[in-house]
Structure 1
Amino acid sequence: MSSDPVMSVAYLRRRSQDGELAEIASRQSEYGGSGGGGGPLNNTMEESAPSSNSLRIFGGGCDGVGTPLGTRCWNAVRKRVPVLTCPTRYSLKDFWADFLAGILTGIPCIPQGIIYAEIANLPIQYGLYAGFIGPFIYAIFGTVKELHVGPVAAIAVLIAGVTAKASPAFAVVYTTLLCLAFGIFSFLVGLLKLGWMVELVSVPVTSGLVSAAAIIVMLCNIKTFLGFNHFRGQTLTTLLPKFYESMDKIVYGDLIMGIASVIALHLMQDSIKIQWGKITPNKFISKTLSIICKTISLGRTPLLTTMCGYTAYYLNVHRPEQLITTAKAVDILGIPKPSIPAFTWPARNETIDGITSEQPQLDFLGILTYGGSTPLIVLIICLVQQSLISKNFRRAEGVNVNHELMSLGVIQVASSFFGSMPVTGAFIRSSAMAAQGVRTRFGVIWAGLMVLFALHVLTPYVEYDPKPSLAAIVFCAVFHLIQRDDIMRIWKTNRMDMIPFAATFVTSLLAGLQAGFCTGVATNIFMLLVVASDPDICIENDPHRNVTIIKPDRSMHYPGAEKLRRAICDTALLDHPPGVVAVDCSALVDMDYSTVKRLGSTVLGLKMARGTRVVFINVKPKVEQALHGFTDGAVETYPYDLEKLLMQSGSVDNLTVSGSIETIDSVVVANSSTDEEVINLQKGTNNPVD
């Protein structure tokens, strides 16, 4: 391609008129913008567009001066609505792959939504409300074809801690208003490009929290297996004692069906692994059996629900007493009518656990703060999970996290109009979408249609579904949320990261997910401070040139400044000190004021009290600016290494001193902490400056 600027402008105009360059640019932004990494679209951009120099000179490509206003507006719309950039060719294979992946992912959404609603102390239909609107909106605004948005275990457990002592009516108002508020906040975080904040929560903390939430949900399902419906709990300290106290109230019909359902699910799931070709020589029989096993494996959830439903109905009808506990009847059938969430809660008498009390009136902020710190932690989990899952499935191409958070915000706002609890990206269902081979973002639409079908058709029959079978489905799914792989990788990579993981995991199980999250974050911050306060400092002596080199291994901030200051003083206060102490700043990118004050005062104090020369080599511009700004240029800084410095000066004795004695004295006197340090240095002691 010609590098002539005139030809480049003509090329850009011709391509923009055809609309091809616009689509390349919009698809490039979908895969993470200019910083999205080396995905396949980057190569397409390089091959089909002019050189980067031409793009920079003539307006930045498709949005440049030569592009019509209508094209630029269209590109801006397609950047925010990625569904408009989908490929024009949608083959039958794509449709079939999306259909299967969506249906097979949507079917487990039904029992998961029911169980999560029960855990959150909500009517069971509200778990389904949280699962049907998100896929439709994400298909329009989302960028990751595997990601499925809906209710998740950790959020259900956190909300349960708040709604356990509230009435069902208030629980609905509380969760719906949380969903609306989180949606607005998530959208603003993405709009203001603050997605980097989710990176402040480390992976060990997230893994520990998700693993603990999975175990709590599994214990709640075991409670259902045993037929214990008379108590609630969100920690081991509350659940295990109640388990022990209720052992004489076991419903053996529920226990048998629950265990049988778990075994049946595993057998049906593993039936696809049977190699019938090695068992029978007949190809027709082996192929037929393979197809049957694959069908059973993929459709194990509806098969199990149907079989257990008929079994429970038969046993309960033909017996004088109910042998198997079934789900509660749905009082509101069908698809809910959209409505704006209530922003106030009137004062009324509420009966909670058989105790009637007067509940005060609450305004918008009163409802949001009813759960203390729970809303903040739920919000962080929503943002972190959406970011983690989107980046996990788009490692090669990159992902625009801010756009994903904006999409989540739109989903949560729209879902709140249908009575949804807070939603976010789900690890289990997103992995299921990927395992089933989804090809485009349209696959999640079929998952949403399955939940919509359940709301419209199946809700009258929910009361016949046995709770043990529903709990078994969720039990087997949530079991994979325990981050076993992360535990092994953390142990092999950096065992110190096991500390925040263990702190989050153990505290979440014993004191609740709120306390676990706060403990994990606090532990992480403490570890960062410990690392920052204890840098590794290498000291090299060169007796032939009478120089000692002190080299810290990381950027220096105030927690670690004292260790570097002590190293400089210990070297300068030796009985036979070197002629020059050189501080190698090659690893230092920046310095804060506290660090500069400690080091600058020490260097000037050594020069005035003992005549020791301390120079800074390999200094970057920011570090040089900080040192000279504090000492008015009285310290010696060089942007190159010691070898080049000695080559220019000839020897250590010929090094030029920057800053006169008068300047040094004025800087020393100007700092209240320096006089005490100078006295200590004259005495030959090394005490820190207060």
Structure 2
Amino acid sequence: MTRKIKETLRQDHGSRLKKCLFRLVPLLETLQNYTRFDFISDMIAGTTVGLTMLPQSIAYAALAGLTPQCGLNSAFVGVFVYLFFGTTREVFIGPSSLMAILTYEYTKDLTNDHVILLTFICGCVELAMSLLRLGFLVELISVPVSSGFTAATSIIIVVSQLKGLLGISYKASNFLDNFVQIAQRLPQAHYGDVLVGVTGCVSLLFLRKLKDFSSVNKKSKIVSKIFWFLSTGRNALIVLIFSSIAHYYKTTTNKVPFTLSKGANGGLPRLELPPFETHMNNRTIPLKEMVQDLGAGVFIIPIVSVLANISIAKAFANGGMVRATQEMFTLGICNIANSLFQAMPSCGAFTRSAVASASGIRTSVANLYSGAVVMLGLHFLSPYFQYIPRSTLSAVLICACIFLIETDLVPLLWKENKMNLFTFLITIALSLCFGVEIGLLIGVVCDACYLLYLWARPDMVLEFQDTVTNPYILVRPNMGFFFPAVNYVYSTVNKIAITKGQSRFPFVFDCVNFKRADYTAVKGLVLLSKDFQRRGQELYFINVSNSIVSFCATLKSPLKCFRDRTEMELTICGAKMDPINKTEVTVINEVANEKDNSDKDEFETLMLSKL
């Protein structure tokens, strides 16, 4: 018997251990049922995403003011880590436009060592957030705020890339300064760069539309598949074409009629610890000063990257559950690993996820093939990165970012909720004028203030009810009842009872939406009841939750609570009801059903038309 118990305990322990291991490393569960069809689908999707990531990584590194290798390093490290710990198959960790612009914002006058340290700190913050289970904080950022933040970031990127498109050089401190600098230097625009950039933009937009081609006959389906592949790999295709033109000019005439990008060191990066001190302006800068130089970026960037990653996971979860804590843990490990390979901060990107989904991805194993493609590019193509035209990279970034601006959201919010539209627009405006971190912060504050206003000023349904003998007034607040709403509800109910109820009609307070209440709210109900007593006017509470009933019983307050409307109407009409006890609290029946029973009754008219 003892042996059987031990074996059972051992099996239970092994089962729990296996479950924990599978939750920590989802790849193990994926491999259990991995099929040949999964292998083929993942290889196609991973290779396609890898080809997309190569030019994207170079462009995003340029946007952050870094070398191409810095972007490519983050492209292959992140996907290998996410392969083991990631929970959403469509997510591919790597450089993104959002991370690039934020990295540039906080490190534009600093060294590469600052960027690598920032990557390490971002990973540590994200890891700490996951260990503290702070995934719920992401829910505090609403869609209008996140969309406004993304739109502002996209606008900043587009404007900042106009200098590459025009072939001019300058340093701008902010978004508005960019406009001034472009206007001043517009006569200096280089026609070769303008031609390459505009041609690149037009070609990218045209190729983007090719994926919409479809036909029913078999021959056209083959053409459709070719068009889809050209559309999906358009970034790599355009970069390859213009790089080949640049290489031709360089080898034949030794003179290229447009500006080229920076070169990159060949081979894979070496593994080393992130720098905890650096040298700048002929002096050594210690760790503390480096962190101070990075400022709010050590908090803003990890929070934004978590928000972006979880948003992508939700978008492709198809209604399934997203493990926010595991996603934060994985992102933290990715960025810590990135810092060991001299890479920039990274997260998921909607463009990569969309390509993966359209390519028929089956599991997260596709990350393996994507990382392999990037590694091959780093090893064999590094000497050729110097031939990529700068205006081509600008065209890639501009054409990627303009579609992140959700213009269709404006008429929708205008029609449905103007306060949300205000939050959306104020987030964009402040992000453009004062920086994206200020815009994000004020957007969240606006949302919080709006929520507080809704709680402090709940809508109240006011109705007049006829019973067999006695009419009564019913009021039903549409939200929960907490301290911000106490004064408003207290004064409004008293005013209605006096002016509309003529201080004589019984008053019924429907608590169907009050699942719980705090001390201030319950005290407000007690004071309200005493006011009615002084006027000699009846006040009844229906659909009261157990928590409020017990709270009132503890306070020994003279509230008359009923389980539902039917029970209350029987009492008003003179039916004798036996109280549970003889305390001052008259609890006719404890709440057994939280459902709003008022839907069963037919309300004749509103109070204003009845009195």
TM-score by length of structure 2 reads: 0.86
After the TM superposition, which of the residue ranges 635-644 and 570-579 deviates more from structure 2? 570-579
What SS is found at the alignment partner of 2:161? helix
Match of 2:460 in 1: 537
What SS is found at the alignment partner of 1:189? helix
Match of 1:341 in 2: 274
The whole-number CA distance in structure 1 between the counterparts of 2:258 and 2:196 is: 8
After the TM superposition, which of the residue ranges 174-183 and 249-258 deviates more from structure 2? 174-183
Match of 1:220 in 2: 160
Cα 1:556–1:272, aligned 2, differ >3 Å: closer, same or farther? closer
Assess if the C-alpha contact under 8 Å between 1:428 and 1:480 holds in 2: no
Matches of residues 275-286 of structure 1 in structure 2 within 5 Å?
none
Cα RMSD after superposing both structures: 3.1
Gapped regions of structure 2 (runs ≥ 5): 587-611
- How big is each residue's C-alpha offset from its partner over 1:496-551, in whole Å with a ceiling of 9 and x where there is no partner? 32221111122222222112101211111121122122211223334741533222
Residue 550 (1) aligns with residue 484 (2): no
Shift of 1:431: 1.1
The whole-number CA distance in structure 2 between the counterparts of 1:221 and 1:336 is: 28
After the TM superposition, which of the residue ranges 537-546 and 427-436 deviates more from structure 2? 537-546
The whole-number CA distance in structure 2 between the counterparts of 1:200 and 1:309 is: 45
Residue 203 (1) aligns with residue 143 (2): yes
Matches of residues 27-426 of structure 1 in structure 2 within 5 Å?
67-88=11-32, 90-166=34-110, 169=111, 172-235=112-175, 237-271=176-210, 293-294=227-228, 296-316=230-250, 322-330=256-264, 332-345=265-278, 348-349=280-281, 361-364=285-288, 366-426=289-349
Cα 1:577–1:101, aligned 2, differ >3 Å: closer, same or farther? same
Match of 1:615 in 2: 540
What SS is found at the alignment partner of 1:549? strand
Percent of aligned pairs with the same residue? Answer: 27
After the TM superposition, which of the residue ranges 558-567 and 306-315 deviates more from structure 2? 306-315
**Number of matched residues?**
578
The whole-number CA distance in structure 2 between the counterparts of 1:367 and 1:311 is: 42
The whole-number CA distance in structure 1 between the counterparts of 2:147 and 2:449 is: 19
Residue 647 (1) aligns with residue 577 (2): no
Assess if the C-alpha contact under 8 Å between 1:327 and 1:463 holds in 2: yes
Shift of 1:418: 0.9
What SS is found at the alignment partner of 2:72? helix
The whole-number CA distance in structure 2 between the counterparts of 1:108 and 1:645 is: 68
What SS is found at the alignment partner of 1:147? coil
Cα 1:623–1:369, aligned 2, differ >3 Å: closer, same or farther? farther
Cα 1:656–1:74, aligned 2, differ >3 Å: closer, same or farther? closer
Assess if the C-alpha contact under 8 Å between 1:209 and 1:513 holds in 2: yes
- How big is each residue's C-alpha offset from its partner over 1:305-327, in whole Å with a ceiling of 9 and x where there is no partner? 22211222334565586421001
What SS is found at the alignment partner of 2:281? strand
- How big is each residue's C-alpha offset from its partner over 1:291-339, in whole Å with a ceiling of 9 and x where there is no partner? 6545544443333222211222334565586421001122x43211111
- How big is each residue's C-alpha offset from its partner over 1:454-479, in whole Å with a ceiling of 9 and x where there is no partner? 22121222111111122222222223
After the TM superposition, which of the residue ranges 102-111 and 269-278 deviates more from structure 2? 269-278
Residue 599 (1) aligns with residue 492 (2): no
Assess if the C-alpha contact under 8 Å between 1:258 and 1:468 holds in 2: yes
Match of 2:404 in 1: 481
Cα 1:628–1:343, aligned 2, differ >3 Å: closer, same or farther? farther
Assess if the C-alpha contact under 8 Å between 2:429 and 2:439 holds in 1: yes
Return the letter of the residue paired with 2:24: R
Shift of 1:273: 5.2
Cα 1:401–1:648, aligned 2, differ >3 Å: closer, same or farther? same
Cα 1:485–1:448, aligned 2, differ >3 Å: closer, same or farther? farther
Q: Which 4+ runs in 1 deviate beyond 6 A?
A: 275-278, 652-661
The whole-number CA distance in structure 2 between the counterparts of 1:296 and 1:519 is: 42
Match of 1:20 in 2: none
- How big is each residue's C-alpha offset from its partner over 1:558-613, in whole Å with a ceiling of 9 and x where there is no partner? 22222210123224434831253321111112222332333323322443x43444
Assess if the C-alpha contact under 8 Å between 1:309 and 1:465 holds in 2: yes
Cα 1:652–1:154, aligned 2, differ >3 Å: closer, same or farther? farther
Cα 1:556–1:276, aligned 2, differ >3 Å: closer, same or farther? closer
After the TM superposition, which of the residue ranges 318-327 and 618-627 deviates more from structure 2? 318-327
Cα 1:657–1:445, aligned 2, differ >3 Å: closer, same or farther? closer
The whole-number CA distance in structure 2 between the counterparts of 1:569 and 1:292 is: 72
Shift of 1:234: 4.3
Assess if the C-alpha contact under 8 Å between 2:150 and 2:404 holds in 1: yes
The whole-number CA distance in structure 1 between the counterparts of 2:132 and 2:432 is: 35
The whole-number CA distance in structure 2 between the counterparts of 1:90 and 1:659 is: 68
The whole-number CA distance in structure 1 between the counterparts of 2:503 and 2:239 is: 82
What SS is found at the alignment partner of 1:541? strand
Residue 566 (1) aligns with residue 491 (2): yes
- How big is each residue's C-alpha offset from its partner over 1:64-94, in whole Å with a ceiling of 9 and x where there is no partner? 8583433332232122111111254544443
The whole-number CA distance in structure 2 between the counterparts of 1:77 and 1:129 is: 29
Residue 505 (1) aligns with residue 428 (2): yes
Return the letter of the residue paired with 1:439: R
The whole-number CA distance in structure 2 between the counterparts of 1:297 and 1:128 is: 22
Shift of 1:112: 1.9
Match of 1:37 in 2: none
Match of 1:584 in 2: 510
Return the letter of the residue paired with 1:616: F
Assess if the C-alpha contact under 8 Å between 2:121 and 2:298 holds in 1: no
TM-score by length of structure 1 reads: 0.77
The whole-number CA distance in structure 1 between the counterparts of 2:332 and 2:432 is: 30
What SS is found at the alignment partner of 1:122? coil
Residue 519 (1) aligns with residue 442 (2): yes
Shift of 1:102: 1.5
Shift of 1:389: 1.3
The whole-number CA distance in structure 1 between the counterparts of 2:291 and 2:355 is: 34
- How big is each residue's C-alpha offset from its partner over 1:406-448, in whole Å with a ceiling of 9 and x where there is no partner? 1212212211211222211211111111111111211122221
Cα 1:369–1:585, aligned 2, differ >3 Å: closer, same or farther? farther
Assess if the C-alpha contact under 8 Å between 1:585 and 1:618 holds in 2: yes
Assess if the C-alpha contact under 8 Å between 1:633 and 1:658 holds in 2: no
The whole-number CA distance in structure 2 between the counterparts of 1:220 and 1:467 is: 13
What SS is found at the alignment partner of 2:473? strand
Q: Higher relative contact order at CA 8 Å, sep ≥6: structure 1 or structure 2?
A: 2
The whole-number CA distance in structure 2 between the counterparts of 1:290 and 1:194 is: 45
Matches of residues 435-454 of structure 1 in structure 2 within 5 Å?
435-454=358-377
The whole-number CA distance in structure 2 between the counterparts of 1:635 and 1:417 is: 67
What SS is found at the alignment partner of 2:540? strand
The whole-number CA distance in structure 1 between the counterparts of 2:422 and 2:270 is: 48
The whole-number CA distance in structure 2 between the counterparts of 1:127 and 1:181 is: 18
